[in-house]
Structure 1
Amino acid sequence: MRRRWLLWGSLLSVVVLLLGAGGWVVYQNEYDLKEERVTITGGKQPLHGVLARPTGGRTPAGLVVFVHGDGPTNATHDTFYRPIWEAIAKAGYASLSWDKPGVDGAPGNWLDQSIQDRADETVAAIDWAKRQPGIDPARIGLWGASQAGWVMPKAARQSPDVRFVIAVAPALNWLQQGRYNLLAELRKKRATPAETEAAIARSDRTLAALRAGRTFEQYRDGGGDVDGLTPQRWDFNRRNHTSDATDDLAALRVPVLLLLGGRDINVDSDDTEAGYRRILTAPGQLRVKRYPDATHNIVPESVEDSELQSTLLAIAAPRSLFSPGYLDEHRSFLTSLGQR
């Protein structure tokens, strides 16, 4: 009888622990936000979006318009954005984001877009958002990561409504970024000199074909390496590979927060910081924050390199995915804007 009670007691303890863990996960995935699905009109095609508002405090709220990086990203970036939205909400700002065209049933195809198309899309979203109730049209800015570094300066140059920019791991020049990424990945996997030389040669052949305006079929039939490459992706690269943010950045007259990772193998953080400092020279215009152990996503390298650790954090403690201080920096920067 005593053994039976011990068994039942052990089982009960396990159940209590599981229920407690489940409650913790639910708690960690609840955010102090009011999210609503919206349809953003006024551009080339309707955009399926999410408007995440602060739950209390100052009204009307300012607005941060999110501009995605590369790839088929949905409005929440598979929930990755929500901790950032919450930090932004604490500073009295709403967040607006949308599914890229063709993602999750949205009309269009993001691979058909140019960087200019993406900038036009962003300006249309701003024009739509500033007419929404509860949004302060005098406090609208942009947040964007990676490829958005070419989109946001164009959009800000087109729209006088853009009052600030938050740039996460952007690059200045598409081709330089691509070469840096190639070499960094080769170093990380400890490629041999012969493997490195072969990879550079393949990259050079690809760039020559892009510069010559060759179609996917011409490149493939000429012996080009098309492993993992689709005709649509080839056309996207051909359309955008000459992108450079220098001239558009030089036209910026608004505060900029630049967030960089010290372990970024996608973008050369040193080159980006040097370029931004060279271009954005107005007193107090540029604020730079670096996270020495962070990757391209401003996640600690040890976390990103561990599938188990990153998965557990994403489920049980999503705010802890990011490098320490990253979320607070958003709130601090946005709060400082009101003191200018």
Structure 2
Amino acid sequence: MKMFGRHRWLWGSLLSVVVLLVGAGGWVVYQNEYDLTEERVTVTGGKQPLQGVLARPAGGHGPYGLVVFVHGDGPVDATHDTFYRPVWEAMAKAGYASLSWDKPGVNNAPGNWLDQSMQDRADETLAAIRWAKAQPGIDPDRIGLWGASQAGWVMPKAARQSPDVSFVIAVAPAVNWLQQGRYNLLAELKQRHASPEETAAAVARSDRNQAALRTGATFEQYRAAGGVTEGLTPERWAFNKRNYPSDATEDLAALRIPVQLILGGRDVNVDSDDTEAGYRRTITTPGLLRVQRFQDSTHTMVSEDVEHSALRSTVLAIAAPRSLFTPGYLDSIRDFLTSLDHRKG
């Protein structure tokens, strides 16, 4: 009887574990399902075809407004490794579809994103808008841009050059390329409690880097002159040399459309204070600029404890991807888009 009771306890325990695992698996599946209808598309009309995803609200027929996604730096794919989907869903709740694409060269897409200037990226964005205007279920009068970080030099340029852009959502953008780089350097040194000597040496290296960019030095010339090339490729050097003069001031000053500026209070990549001041100084038409700060957010709109913990960020990304973001961030985007339609109404 004791042996039978032990076996029954063991089977009961195993059954409980199985139920927990099945339940956890079901929860993960549920958390990674979105109220979206996604379609793989090929965006044509630009320098090269773009491999994209068009995500529409589920269960409807439109016409929907459209948010065109403009990536930040790096080799980003259309979903940003699924990171965009909670944002797309928030936009869908406001009645907007989303369009995003693999950067050139990513996932075997034609081209190479490192060959692009910010103007090239703006041209690419405007080509995508022209393509989207002809798609069924898309309202051509309600098309705008969402972009993060480096997109801050692309979106104002695109919006200035085309009346098809009716709004901009800018997440953690900078205004001046070189100022952003210097802020990032100093903020990261401060974060890791670098000594005064280490800080001075890092600033001197940065000064040499900027001087070489200004003189148009090639990668080989920069390296031969003692420039630090760790983690730097000739392609990346050419990209930096092409784009380091970027400054969004003039393009921002020309905007006459609603702009939502979203900033993080713990951003070590971009100086949120400088960005907010720059946007307020240049976008002066009353009612056009909406600034929202999330004080506990980093550059990626997640909290520091999530960003600095690989375990926690991985668990959240798998089990509760919407919870990766700072509370209120997704709602702020939905509310902004809803307010645009009320404004038109």
For the superposition of Structure 1 and Structure 2, which TM-score range results when normalised by the shorter chain? over 0.9
Partner of 1:284: 287
Partner of 1:252: 255
**How far apart, in 1, do the equivalents of 2:307 and 2:226 lie?**
35
The CA RMSD measured in Å over matched residues stands at 0.7
**How far apart, in 2, do the equivalents of 1:293 and 1:87 lie?**
20
How many correspondences in the alignment?
340
Q: Deviations over 1:261-293 (max 9, x none)?
A: 000000000110111111111111000110001
Partner of 1:50: 53
**How far apart, in 2, do the equivalents of 1:117 and 1:67 lie?**
12
Amino acid at match of 2:134: R
| Matched-pair contact (CA < 8 Å) for 1:173–1:244 | yes
Alignment of 1:58-77 (within 5 A): 59-77=62-80
Amino acid at match of 1:110: W
SS in 2 for 1:163: coil
Shift of 1:149: 0.2
Shift of 1:56: 3.1
| Matched-pair contact (CA < 8 Å) for 1:57–1:92 | no
Partner of 2:41: 38
| Matched-pair contact (CA < 8 Å) for 2:69–2:147 | yes
- TM-score, normalised with respect to structure 2: 0.98
**How far apart, in 1, do the equivalents of 2:273 and 2:59 lie?**
39
The 4+ residue runs of structure 1 with deviation greater than 4 A are none
Amino acid at match of 1:92: G
Partner of 2:265: 262
| Matched-pair contact (CA < 8 Å) for 1:58–1:92 | no
| Matched-pair contact (CA < 8 Å) for 2:68–2:145 | yes
Matched, 1:25 2:28: yes
- Of 196, 199, 202 in structure 1, the residue corresponding to residue 202 of structure 2 is 199
| Matched-pair contact (CA < 8 Å) for 2:32–2:321 | yes
% same residue: 78
Amino acid at match of 1:104: N
**How far apart, in 1, do the equivalents of 2:189 and 2:163 lie?**
42
Partner of 1:96: 99
Amino acid at match of 2:326: S
| Matched-pair contact (CA < 8 Å) for 1:175–1:241 | yes
Amino acid at match of 1:241: Y
Shift of 1:158: 1.2
Amino acid at match of 2:90: A
Partner of 1:337: 340
Alignment of 1:1-340 (within 5 A): 1-57=4-60, 59-340=62-343
**How far apart, in 2, do the equivalents of 1:245 and 1:258 lie?**
14
SS in 1 for 2:154: helix
**How far apart, in 2, do the equivalents of 1:318 and 1:43 lie?**
33
**How far apart, in 2, do the equivalents of 1:19 and 1:195 lie?**
52
